[in-house]
């Protein structure tokens, strides 16, 4: 900050995080933040982090001092960045939604869900459940429409796929107050042969509850998960994943921010959606009756 003041050449970027612990310990998008920082660091930029742990009650706010630009991570609703949007500061949202004056980089989560569903369908599965993240009702309530875009779009894509292919649905997929255990119990009772998990952590829970019912993965039930953390290949069984392109998203966010900083009057706000890729391992196999 002092160097920028002395040189009169501000190259500081403020990075807003919704929750320090979540971002530090669990969020795969951290790889995207690192990739973005590396790409901008090469251009002479430096960074500082601002934490907004209760973003559902307030906005992400503004940096406490003058900066060249800003990046907000995992923004659920555009209202949360209204101050950034109205300030005239160049900003980009990474893995979230921006206001009318900001750009955003997102995963193509509708296409990613379709990819997972098509893979299981081609394996012969006709009763496929989707398990959404559980949110304790005792916490600050968030309506389904206020959830992260990945929750909303994956859910919509799941129901659209089932409708298009004439498949039964797991009704609990539209409710984030249903625990993984209860969702699995519903699926087992209805004879579902495959599940798609919102995250790798939930993949581990699904496997635990299936094993507790003496169901073998993938002989009896197949499971595909979103995200592809390093531990996914060491799970039992190693997890088939739809990998979210977090690093590519980070690099793209850095590129969009640089464009806004270099040509603010010529660069229009935009939304870029990047597709994921299917990483096939051992957790999904042919449905019973489709095996050689």
Q: pLDDT confidence of 141, banded at 50, 70, 90?
A: confident
pLDDT, tens digit, for every residue of 50-91? 887 654 557 888 888 889 999 999 998 899 899 999 999 999
* Averaged pLDDT, 188-208: 96
Place of tokens 């495959």: 194
Q: Collect all residues with Cβ–Cβ distance below 8 Å to 289 and sequence separation of at least 6.
A: 124
Q: Is the pLDDT of residue 228 over 60?
A: yes
**Got the DSSP string for 58-123?**
S-----SS--SEEEEES--SGGGGHHHHHHT-EEEEESS---TTSEEEEE-HHHHHHHHHHHHHHT
**pLDDT, greater one: 46 or 240:** 240
Q: In whole angstroms, what is the distance from residue 200 CA to residue 198 CA?
A: 7
Q: Collect all residues with Cβ–Cβ distance below 8 Å to 24 and sequence separation of at least 6.
A: 30
CB atoms inside a 10 Å sphere around CB 156: 14
Work out the mean pLDDT of the chain and round it to a whole number.
89
In 3D space, the residue among 211, 186, 212 whose CA is nearest the CA of residue 283 turns out to be: 211
* Averaged pLDDT, 239-258: 96
Given a contact cutoff of 8 angstroms between Cβ atoms, the answer to whether 117 and 185 are in contact is no
Q: Is the pLDDT of residue 21 over 50?
A: no
Q: Is the pLDDT of residue 9 over 80?
A: no
What pTM value is reported for the model?
Answer: 0.91
Q: Is the pLDDT of residue 137 over 90?
A: no
Is 166 exposed, middle or buried, given 0-12, 13-18 or 19+ CB atoms closer than 10 A? exposed
Q: Which structure tokens are listed for 258?
A: 């640089």
């Amino acid at each position: 900050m002092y160097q920028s003041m002395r040189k009169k050449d501000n190259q500081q970027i403020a990075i807003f995080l919704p929750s320090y612990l979540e971002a530090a310990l669990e969020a795969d998008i951290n790889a995207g933040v690192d990739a973005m920082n590396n790409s901008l660091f090469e251009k002479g930029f430096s960074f500082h982090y601002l934490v907004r742990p209760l973003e559902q009650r307030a906005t992400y706010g503004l940096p406490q001092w003058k900066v060249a630009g800003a990046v907000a991570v995992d923004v659920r609703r555009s209202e949360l960045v209204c101050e950034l949007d109205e300030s005239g500061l160049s900003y980009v949202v990474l893995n979230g939604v921006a206001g009318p004056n900001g750009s955003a980089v997102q995963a193509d989560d509708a296409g990613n869900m379709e990819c997972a569903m098509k893979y299981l369908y081609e394996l012969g599965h006709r009763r496929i459940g989707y398990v959404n993240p559980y949110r304790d009702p005792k916490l600050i309530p968030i309506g389904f429409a206020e959830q992260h875009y990945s929750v909303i779009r994956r859910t919509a894509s799941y129901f659209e796929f089932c409708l298009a292919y004439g498949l039964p649905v797991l009704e609990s997929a539209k409710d984030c107050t249903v625990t993984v255990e209860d969702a699995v119990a519903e699926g087992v009772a209805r004879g579902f042969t495959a599940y798609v998990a919102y995250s790798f952590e939930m993949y581990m829970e699904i496997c635990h509850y299936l094993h507790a019912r003496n169901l073998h993965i993938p002989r009896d039930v197949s499971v595909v998960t979103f995200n592809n953390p390093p531990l996914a290949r060491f799970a039992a069984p190693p997890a088939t994943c739809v990998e979210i392109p977090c690093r590519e998203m980070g690099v793209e966010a850095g590129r969009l921010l640089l464009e806004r900083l270099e040509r603010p009057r010529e660069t229009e706000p935009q939304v870029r959606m990047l597709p994921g890729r299917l990483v096939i391992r051992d957790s999904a196999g042919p449905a019973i009756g489709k095996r050689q």
